[in-house]
Amino acid sequence: MSSIAIVGAGPGLGAAVARRFGREGYAVALVARDGERLGALAGQLAGAGVRARGFSADVRDPLALAGALARAAEELGTVEILQYSPVPQPDFMRPVLETTHADLLGPVEFSVYGPVAAVQQVLPGMRELGRGTILLVNGGTAVIPHPDRAGTSIAFAAESAYGHLLHDRLADEGIHVAQLVIPGAIVAGHPRKDPVVLADALWGMHRDRHGFRHYADDLES
């Protein structure tokens, strides 16, 4: 059996994706910092018939993240699908003229070093399977930079470039790389940005394997 690893798993989008992919027969590795919350979420998913387990790691610690994904593959099966969707910290979003080089360290660790470490860890397993999907989830600043959110604007753009390079490079190996851009907040009950709707969109991206960038909603200008 293969698995999906959700990096940045929480009670909103992460839980919805776990349920959606779990219904399709995938075991679910939940990766985030708070092990206690992950355990509670895994228990809730088990009640819904989804085989899930939590693996605690900080995405800003590449070795810890790689270790969590290695344990996930050992315990749940090869990671066939990687979703990288942690929520950025508020202090990443400073006005551009107040942003120093030191202020960019956190966003770059979060949105560049983290996904690179995650991909490098799971890619050998995907290649052995002969298939795989890498899903990057970003906010609207990945496409339209915002002067008051310099950290995410810069780091999301770098993550997008990395993902696009992977998309082009890995397509011939049966590994699909795609990005879902969610402008603004995820909102329960929203026709396009409700977690369940977004989980369905991510499942469709995995299933249909068309193109790199997808939009959950219209971009905010």
For residue 89, what pLDDT band results from cuts at 50, 70 and 90?
Answer: confident
pLDDT of 107-158, one tens digit each? 999 999 999 999 999 999 999 999 999 999 999 999 999 999 999 999 999 9
Pick the closest to residue 119 from 174, 77, 159, 172 (CA basis): 159
Residue 82 has pLDDT above 60, yes or no: yes
Q: Is 4 helix (H, G, I), strand (E, B) or coil?
A: strand
Pick the closest to residue 38 from 14, 74, 65 (CA basis): 14
Question: β-strands 27-32, 52-56: how paired?
Answer: parallel
Name the token pair of 38: 């992950």
CA–CA distance, 162 with 186 (Å, rounded to integer): 24
Q: How far is CA 25 from CA 19, 20, 28, 70, in A?
A: 10, 9, 9, 20
For residue 90, what pLDDT band results from cuts at 50, 70 and 90?
Answer: confident
Mean pLDDT of the chain: 96
Q: Is 86 helix (H, G, I), strand (E, B) or coil?
A: coil
- Give the model's pLDDT for residue 170: 98
Name the token pair of 89: 């910290």
pTM of the model: 0.97
State which amino acid sits at residue 146: H
CA–CA distance, 52 with 46 (Å, rounded to integer): 7
Q: Which domains does the chain have, with CATH numbers?
A: 3-215 (3.40.50.720)
pLDDT of 39-56, one tens digit each? 999 999 999 999 999 999
pLDDT of 172-184, one tens digit each? 999 999 999 999 9
The residue whose two tokens read 């969109």 is 201
Q: Indicate the angle between helix axes 114-129 and 150-170, nearest 10 degrees.
A: 20
Bigger pLDDT: 91 vs 82 = 82
